[in-house]
Amino acid sequence: MSKNVILVGDKFATFAQQENVTTPLAFCAALEDGKIDACNLILGQGVSDAWVAHITDLAAQTNAKVTLVNSVSAKRASSKSCHKVKRQNALISEPQVLRNNAFSARLLIDEDCELMGDHQTGHHLQGMLLVEAARQMFLAVIERYLRPQQSNYAVINHLNSTFQSFAFPLSTDIELTVETRDEDRPDRGSYDVQVVFLQNGSPVTTIDTRFTVFDAQRLAPKEAAMAQARTQDCIAMADKELAVAV
């Protein structure tokens, strides 16, 4: 096995057919068979935190010198940051300040996440993974930097996705820029942001979105009232359809 190897999740088996790309199952089998003395393991997409821990332990047991590349800054975002309860559904690392009004994170797809429960087509990442990662990115920036002391409820007003190129299960940087912000009211804020996904320094997907962040406690009763009204409208429409059918 080459000294530099890219590790991707087992669900990216098609991509892993390339030379110098492997999956956790195959890599662990090579470790157990004594086929690896030293290796730089470059973390791609789809690898769970549990697999990383297992590979680290197994390398120590077999006296193999395995250096994990890209692992230092790859702490998965918290549930509070990305509004996900299950850890495997967090698709990004905790965002960091890049410059004024700009933030960065890394894409961290776990192959057991909710959006990879079915078959993966071809070599590339499915587009909806990136759309969801962009959503998590702006939520995390809200929670950590824009409105850190508040109970936040974000509502998307507009979202436009541009896919410049296939995105592959490789190391991916995410950059979010806050282009406009309206924070005149204490109970809400409106933002226009652009989220760019970069592989090897080149943009592969750009997502422009406008969203409004409300105080969750103030919005909750309004949302509940709207849900009740829409439910009653739905029942009324069903009654009319049944009356016509009779």
- Identify which of 55, 68, 82, 41 has the alpha carbon closest to the alpha carbon of residue 174: 82
Better-scored residue on pLDDT, 114 or 79: 114
Query: What are the pLDDT digits (tens) for 154-213?
Result: 889 999 999 999 999 999 999 999 999 998 887 889 999 999 999 999 999 999 999 999
Query: What are the pLDDT digits (tens) for 154-167?
Result: 889 999 999 999 99
CATH architecture classification, 79-216:
Roll (3.10)
Q: Looking at the chain, which residues constitute the CATH 3.10.129.10 domain(s)?
A: 79-216
Phi, psi of 99 (to 5 degrees): -165, -175
Reported in sequence order, the residue ranges of 70-172 that DSSP labels E, i.e. its strands, are 96-99, 102-106, 152-163
How far is it, in rounded angstroms, from Cα 178 to Cα 195?
9
Query: What are the pLDDT digits (tens) for 117-128?
Result: 876 777 889 999
Average pLDDT over residues 71-89: 81
Are 26 and 52 in contact by the 8 Å Cβ rule? The answer is no
The residues facing 92 across adjacent strands are: 107
The residues facing 99 across adjacent strands are: 102
Are 136 and 82 in contact by the 8 Å Cβ rule? The answer is yes
> Strand, helix or coil at 11?
helix
Token pair in block for residue 18: 């390339």
For residue 65, give the H/E element and its range. strand 65-69
- Identify which of 93, 54, 89 has the alpha carbon closest to the alpha carbon of residue 70: 93
9 to each of 23, 80, 109, how far by Cα in Å?
6, 26, 9
Q: How much of the chain, in percent, has pLDDT values that exceed 70?
A: 96
Beta-carbon count within 10 A of 68 CB: 18
Q: Mind giving me the DSSP string for 158-169?
A: EEEEEE-S---S
